[in-house]
Structure 1
Amino acid sequence: MNDNFYKQILNESHLGYAFHKIILDDNNKPIDYEFIEVNTAFENLTGLKRSDVLGKKITEVLPDIKKSEFNWIEFYGNVAINGGSEELEQFSEPLKRWYKVKVYSPEKGSFITTFIDITNERKKINDLYKLSSMSEELLEGLKEENNYQIITDNLLKLAEAKFAIFNLYEEDGKYYTTKVIAGDRGIANKAMNIMGMKVDKKKWPHDTVRAEKIKEKMVTHFPTLKELAGDVIPKALCDLLTKSFGFGEIVVVKIMKNNLMLGDFTIIMAKGKKFDKDSIVEIYATQVGLALISMREEAIISKSEELFKTTLLSVGDGVISVDAKGKVLILNKVAQELTGWNHEEALGKSIQEIFHIIDATTRERSDNPVQKVILTGDTLEQTNQNILISKDGIERPIEDSTAPIKDEQDNITGVVLVFRDYTEKKKRLDEIIYLSFHDNLTGLYNQSFFEAEMERIDTKRNLPFTVIMGDVNGLKLVNDTFGHALGDELLIKVAEIMKISCREDDIIARVGGDEFIILLPKTDSIQAGKLIDRILGLMKNEKIKDIDVSVSFGWATKTDMEQTKGFITKKAEDSMYTNKLIEGQEFRSRVIDNIILAINRKSPWEEAHSKRVSELCVAVGKELKFDKKELEILKTFGLLHDIGKIAIANDILNKPGRLTESEFYEIKRHPEIGFRILSTVKDMSLIANYVLSHHERWDGKGYPKGLSKEDVPLVSRICNIADAYDAMTSERSYRPAMSNEYAIEELQKNAGTQFDPVLVELFLNKVLPKFNLNEIR
């Protein structure tokens, strides 16, 4: 079969298909991809035309793709470069659709995607999430009549309808009442004016015609209003309402429990919009039915038992019930513990005496909530502004709410007061407030507080007003080399030094990952300079795991109110960055020196090994006629090739036995770590790339990138041979030194696989014979 046959099959497939070429930058990182071929289903599923995409890059077709939270280019690039296949469900922000995508690479540098549109399926899942989030509201919502509106509003959202109407049936089934209407109130009022009646809260007689139409199903669809209305609304009026307000399909969802009709939701869709949520609204109606049954069962409870019931429901809180004169009738166990009064002592006493509260702010005696309820008959919602003083003088912040107890004639027969110890909750809230203005790591103020304080103290009486900005040198280097835990330790130490050095009223804030600001009201430039000298002096004596604590500072002083806050802050920032250009580079160079010293302490043979590798590398370079500059680079590279081992645990580096698989994986990280360390230093980027590649192999089976042959930099190939030779002929923690003859045999055996065969021949025939092996030991 020819290619056209397969292309026809592909083009007629319902699966979207696209063939792409990945585009890499100079560091072999994916930065874009090109459309090579697409099928008809691709056009249908994405809305993108074949003629508009072929031969173009994705960033040309969808310019906003790089703004997406999901990195499509990196994801596809990984498959194109490393092979294999991946499958995922992901939302395309530029196309505003959900897709299920399978991607695989037919050859290195290219990839194929096949996909389907799953937007509708995801929409159904989202509906289930909405329903789940409404469940708790349902359980509580029908306990009070005014919450019928919330429940109907939720249904309206779930159904994506124009209107939703909640009808509640009486227990004998002879009448039903339209409790609420959810939707545009203006349109609803206009419709009711046309009908000549107010529908919400209206009581209707049982409609046998309507009941017959909906009896067979839980969810019944009607093309228009007049098919449903039965005898209640004239058909001509139904037509007028439909035409005037764009009513479309009508859906009735029955609310039932144990074959008992409790009510229904009548859903009015917009004209032209189809209702397709039968299952989800049926589940919702079932939940409403459970809530209605619960409400009816609660209503059966005698009102004469209301006081007892309220007490039982509040058993976890302090509960005091009083009669209509405010005399204590019941004091539960928690109330006794919080007030310090036992039940026998409190019985018959005034609530004023038992429940002694003061305002938390003014500390003046608060009005007693029980008296307010007796006078007004209203429920007092929960407050947390009071402090309860117990009989023995203990003060506790409390939350309290108060409600009247009424008889069948709506007369107040008593009051129930419910309260709880608010101490722990207040503590948590205070912590939240603290964290909203403080940096969680250092305990300093955060960006929000800094901005507010900057606004507050920017007044004439605070002049001169100095802003100091500081940037921690080498934080990224520390994080990449030693991990974020050590980076956090560095930030905490910087914060501690600043707090020690500054005055109590100075404002110190951490405003970024490695940036700090100090606000100094009534402080001139000379005083600010002295403060910085004091901070830097303390930092000279501090180290975090062999790393100096170093911060670059800059400052600016406001001396005139015409100078804006933004101007002063920018001036301080520019000053800081000017200093950082010099200090930051010097600091990173010192860090590398410290890292080398630390490696030598960690592994006793590492210093000698690096020197020997460096000498052997230079010797090979000379045979290859490298110039002076190239030889200097080769020498430095040889000394630094294992710098990444600083981040490898001592017990792995110096392990006397064979490494486990996980330990070897850790060792294999050191070229990448070394690359990250050296990349932070100016003029080290070339050596950083050599370090990254010094464990690549001629046959492509090395690490970390799996480069092969000439793709591996020449300098890295030289080091690979020198490193291996010295490692074999040196004593290690896990074995004695091997003989020179054995090492030569291993190099010859692995020439063309692990090592560059031409360089191996040069190394053995031209370099080794000129070396006194004992001297370089």
Structure 2
Amino acid sequence: MSKNIEKEDLSITTIILIAFVSIMILSAFIIGAIIFRNWLAYADKSFSDTISRFDNDVYNVVEFYIENHFHQIEETDILDNHLEMLTKDTDSMAIVIDRNSGKLIGNSVNMDNYLIFQDGRKKEVRINDMGYPALTEAYKSYLDTNVTSYKLSNIQTMLYINISEYRTEYFDWLIFTVMPDTQFTAAVKEGIISTINFSVITLTVTVVAYLFLAKKLLKPASHLLEITKKFGDGDFSQRAVVVRNDEIGMIAKSFNKMADTINELFENLEEKVADRTLELKVANDLVNNNRNQLRLILDSTAEGIFGLDVVANCTFCNASGLELLGYNHEDELIGMNMHYQIHHSRKDTSPLDITECRIVKAIKDGAHFYADDEVFWRKDGTSFDVEYHVLPQLQGDEIIGAVVSFKDITESKKAQKQIEYLSSHDPVTGLYNRRIFDNQLKSIDVEKNLPISIIYGDVNGLKLINDIYGHEKGDELLIKTAKVLKNACRDSDIIARVGGDEFVILLPNTKAKEAKQITQRIKDDFSAEDIGGIRGSISLASDTKITLGQDIQIILKNAEAEMYKIKSIERKSINSKLFDDVMSSLYEKSQREELHSSNVAGICGKIAINMGLPETEVKRVKTAGFYHDIGKIVLDKEVLNKTSKLNAQEKEKVELHSLIGYRILNLFEETVDIADIVLSHHEKWNGKGYPKGLRGEEIPLFARIISVAEAYDSMTNKLGGKGISHEEALERIKALSGIDYDPIVVENFLHVF
């Protein structure tokens, strides 16, 4: 195997220069070190000799002072002068003190040995009074250890201190000689600086000389390097200039020969490459076009499609797939393991190991696979029911991956479940439907369930509520019915809605007496329910199978027949109760409507009598007048009692009351003959009334009578706070005669009033 050669950016000239300068610096460092070492050795010897001479000189001065001035021993100024002369022009010090007391005998620092006070008293100056801590420290150490040489720090300098003893039979003195290191290091520093300057100058001169020679000698190499670089960049016309016949010149000749050969080959190759490039471009354009078309097709499909490699990592995903899985970009899935990304758990969130993954297994087996009982997981952590196909991809005999197509079947699953549910349950109440009831009736008809009781029921007033309030309220009544039945029964009992308003309950292991108790409980509970002011009621009957030989179908028919018998007997009372509920509900909402109904009925009777109608017709028109506004049961309390002008929406609702009243009255035998009258009581003589726009005598006579009676009562009824006077009402009605009202009816009305 070949090794990659690391590219160096440094030129040969630079490398040689660096090496040369490094050698020079190292040489200068070695020479400087040798010189520095010699300087140190010289300085050390010179320092030792100087200190020794200085000690001897000071000792001799003291000895001379003793020998020649002994009789003037107290005159220490002479000693001070000698010591000062000895240390003149130096930083050295010489001090003489008494060994035992530390009293100052003489010094070279121009300090008085005695302090003389104004009263003539003298005070001896001791060594610790001089202000030189180093001297004090050396003195104390000497007394303790008898060490005679010290090197102590004194602010910014080091002091070399020697202590000599001078003893006679008269005194015991100590001679301190002090010399700072600066006296000697200055010369050393000067020598070092001179050495460094010499080295720098030498190095600079050498480098300059090298650069001049290198430029002269290596210029052809630089030229060759430049030519080689241009040639490498594609300029095959470049040739090197041969300046000398040395090694560089030989390299230049070889380069020129190689360049000629390469240029010749390139000229032939260029044409071939151009042809091949054109062919390759055409092929690539075709591939890209096919790829783009395929991608467009994939992204146009409603189904999600993604590709997998052999380990289930994603290779592509179309737009529908990204949308179904909740991702924004394909890059979020490319390279990701799709099992861990979208297929990691079952619908109940229990983990699905990759070894159990049927998609991965299909890839390994190289077999097509289909499933519609699993889920895929979206990016946001939610799941959806999925139907998918796995199609393995082969390259020759080798499996290279698979393509998975899938779609969200959540809604179809829900629809399927709903269909299954509706096939067995009533969509309104959630109870079993007739088909399941028939099956349950057969399955429950076994000996262990004896006695078996069946309750058959029919809800009263469902059609009335549907006609008044619409089927939404009717469904509410059915739902409440189912709730009452469930509350009255056991979990083992079977309840079914077998018709529009018919319900059946199967009660296994239930005696006839118990069934009747359940029936009564249902009636009691149902009577407490209320839909739009109409209290619920239900007709119920039961029968019981006691022995196995009895036909369960006969028991069912008996219960049904008994229920309809009861319903027929109670029909009048049921209808009366329903009718009363409607009117009571209306009057609870508006006291004005109750008074209005009575007033209109009375006025209608008077008009009919004045018109010479038979007593039966008078009674009929009075009844119609009393119930003419029964359709207002659907209006809100606020609208019924509103005294200001109605808005458009409220007016539209109010105008429906005659049609709703017509429907209500048609439901009862007692009122069916007045339904058309109530429907038309807001028609006008000129045809501009509602709901049909009838005109003139097309309008039933009794409706025309009610129209005048209602108008008068509405004008004069002061319960709302805005009634007008009797006379004013008569004038208005007279003015609208032949327009809104039948002139004959108005004439009879005016005759009565």
Alpha carbons of structure 1 residues 354 and 631: separation in structure 2 relative to 1, 3 Å: same
Q: Are 1:752 and 2:718 an aligned pair?
A: no
In 1, Cα distance between equivalents of 2:389 and 2:749: 93
- Is the 1:402–1:415 Cα contact (8 Å) retained in structure 2? no
Alpha carbons of structure 1 residues 304 and 537: separation in structure 2 relative to 1, 3 Å: closer
Any idea what the Cα deviations from partners look like across 1:488-530, whole Å, max 9, x if unmatched?
A: 2222211111110011011112233322221223334332222
Matches within 5 A, 1:755-774: 755-765=741-751, 767-768=752-753
In 2, Cα distance between equivalents of 1:738 and 1:583: 46
Where 1:470 maps in the other structure, the secondary structure is: strand
In 2, Cα distance between equivalents of 1:746 and 1:690: 24
Larger Rg: 2
User: Residue 621 of structure 1 is aligned with which of 580, 604, 608?
Assistant: 608
In 2, Cα distance between equivalents of 1:497 and 1:353: 49
- Is the 2:339–2:354 Cα contact (8 Å) retained in structure 1? no
- Give 2:630's aligned residue: 643
- Give 2:593's aligned residue: 606
Alpha carbons of structure 1 residues 472 and 615: separation in structure 2 relative to 1, 3 Å: same
- Give 2:528's aligned residue: 541
In 2, Cα distance between equivalents of 1:760 and 1:606: 23
- Give 2:373's aligned residue: 384
In 2, Cα distance between equivalents of 1:339 and 1:407: 26
Question: Displacement, 1:447?
Answer: 3.0
- Give 1:439's aligned residue: 426
| Greater CA drift, 455-464 or 329-338 | 329-338
In 2, Cα distance between equivalents of 1:707 and 1:425: 52
- Is the 2:684–2:740 Cα contact (8 Å) retained in structure 1? yes
Where 2:458 maps in the other structure, the secondary structure is: strand
In 1, Cα distance between equivalents of 2:441 and 2:497: 14
Q: Are 1:335 and 2:340 an aligned pair?
A: yes
- Is the 1:387–1:396 Cα contact (8 Å) retained in structure 2? yes
Question: Displacement, 1:338?
Answer: 5.2
User: Higher helix fraction: Structure 1 or Structure 2?
Assistant: 2
Question: Displacement, 1:412?
Answer: 4.4
Instruction: Return the TM-score normalized by structure 1.
Output: 0.49
Alpha carbons of structure 1 residues 355 and 452: separation in structure 2 relative to 1, 3 Å: farther
In 2, Cα distance between equivalents of 1:398 and 1:716: 63
- Is the 2:313–2:338 Cα contact (8 Å) retained in structure 1? no
In 1, Cα distance between equivalents of 2:421 and 2:408: 21
- Give 2:544's aligned residue: 557
In 2, Cα distance between equivalents of 1:696 and 1:625: 23
- Give 1:67's aligned residue: none
In 2, Cα distance between equivalents of 1:689 and 1:439: 36
1:603 maps to amino acid: S
| Greater CA drift, 422-431 or 502-511 | 422-431
- Give 1:167's aligned residue: none
- Give 2:694's aligned residue: 707
- Is the 1:469–1:553 Cα contact (8 Å) retained in structure 2? yes
Where 1:552 maps in the other structure, the secondary structure is: strand
- Is the 1:474–1:584 Cα contact (8 Å) retained in structure 2? no
Alpha carbons of structure 1 residues 720 and 404: separation in structure 2 relative to 1, 3 Å: closer
In 2, Cα distance between equivalents of 1:370 and 1:304: 9
In 2, Cα distance between equivalents of 1:417 and 1:374: 14
Unaligned runs of 5+ in 2: 1-292, 302-306, 326-333
User: Higher strand fraction: Structure 1 or Structure 2?
Assistant: 1
User: Residue 531 of structure 1 is aligned with which of 498, 518, 525?
Assistant: 518
- Is the 2:457–2:504 Cα contact (8 Å) retained in structure 1? yes
How many pairs align?
Answer: 437
Alpha carbons of structure 1 residues 418 and 669: separation in structure 2 relative to 1, 3 Å: closer
| Greater CA drift, 577-586 or 720-729 | 577-586
Question: Displacement, 1:432?
Answer: 5.3
Unaligned runs of 5+ in 1: 1-289, 319-328, 342-350, 358-367, 389-393, 769-777
Q: CA RMSD in A?
A: 4.3
- Give 2:705's aligned residue: 718
In 1, Cα distance between equivalents of 2:602 and 2:468: 27
In 1, Cα distance between equivalents of 2:633 and 2:558: 38
Question: Displacement, 1:614?
Answer: 1.4
- Is the 1:556–1:572 Cα contact (8 Å) retained in structure 2? yes
Matches within 5 A, 1:337-736: 339=344, 354-356=354-356, 374=364, 377-384=366-373, 403=390, 405=392, 407-412=394-399, 430=417, 433-559=420-546, 566-731=553-718, 733=720, 736=722
- Is the 1:396–1:423 Cα contact (8 Å) retained in structure 2? no
- Is the 2:308–2:315 Cα contact (8 Å) retained in structure 1? no
Where 1:437 maps in the other structure, the secondary structure is: coil
In 2, Cα distance between equivalents of 1:417 and 1:612: 80
In 2, Cα distance between equivalents of 1:661 and 1:506: 52
- Is the 2:313–2:335 Cα contact (8 Å) retained in structure 1? no
Alpha carbons of structure 1 residues 628 and 340: separation in structure 2 relative to 1, 3 Å: closer
Question: Displacement, 1:478?
Answer: 1.0
In 2, Cα distance between equivalents of 1:747 and 1:401: 78
- Give 2:316's aligned residue: 312
In 2, Cα distance between equivalents of 1:658 and 1:408: 84
Alpha carbons of structure 1 residues 686 and 356: separation in structure 2 relative to 1, 3 Å: same
Alpha carbons of structure 1 residues 374 and 690: separation in structure 2 relative to 1, 3 Å: same
